[in-house]
Amino acid sequence: MASLAQLTNELEPELARQVFTHSSWAPERTLSYERLEFLGDSVLGLCISTDIYSRYPEYNEGELAKVRAYVVSRHTCAKVGEQLDLSRKLIEAAKQADAANITSLAANANVLAAMVEALIGALYLQFGMEVVLGAVLEVFNEHIEYAASEHIDFKTELQEEAARRNLEVNYEVVAVEGPPHSRMFTSEVSIGGRVMGSGRGRTKKVSQQGAAKEALNALRVRGEADS
């Protein structure tokens, strides 16, 4: 599978020119990256939505929306732009523009984020959704996992739910698979000495969040049955 960086280097010259043309020096605004940014915003949203829909079957609509909102945010896209070194590409493309202005633009997080979306839009036009989907998910994967583990805190919810019932919560990593650079952790959570949930993820934290989510659902179902 080709990475986003590799695909960027294979962009057709006209698409590449447009991706790295800011509206401040474009001969016409429609020749800047803004139209591609518009398209790429939708493509990125669909890529992330498709992935998290299947990756987190236990999440409800609101939880999925929280994860997606973080992953497609300007903040996250700007980080990806830094990773792809898009600032340098913008500076190289702006040969006749004011040097001081270009340096300022290239360091602007909003510009970086916009270029990421424009790049995704251009890659979609040239290579199609199947190719773009894999490349996008590869570079955004760590941000998806971070959003799932940090922005949706099932562990805290479970701790509070268990405390109301005077039950103790314990987590245990029961399996670690894969090579060092691509570990997959499996965790289980016990409530009152009984295993109530399990989860998998590329970090212990993500696997524990999955286990907590499963246990939280089981605990609530049991509570409804007891009531």
Nearest to 76 by CA among 173, 3, 157, 145: 145
Nearest to 198 by CA among 215, 216, 184, 182: 215
| Token pair in block for residue 174 | 């029961």
Catalytic residue from among 41, 51, 145, 161: 41
222/227 Cα distance (integer angstroms) = 9
Contact of 43 with 132, CB cutoff 8 Å: yes
| Token pair in block for residue 128 | 């199609």
Q: What separation in angstroms does the CA of 9 have from each of 20, 85, 123, 191? A: 13, 12, 10, 52
| Token pair in block for residue 139 | 């570079």
Active site residue 41: yes
Which H/E stretch holds residue 95? none
Active site residue 82: no
Which H/E stretch holds residue 177? strand 169-177
Q: How many residues does the chain have?
A: 227
Catalytic residue from among 117, 161, 188, 214: 117
State the catalytic residues. Answer: 41, 117
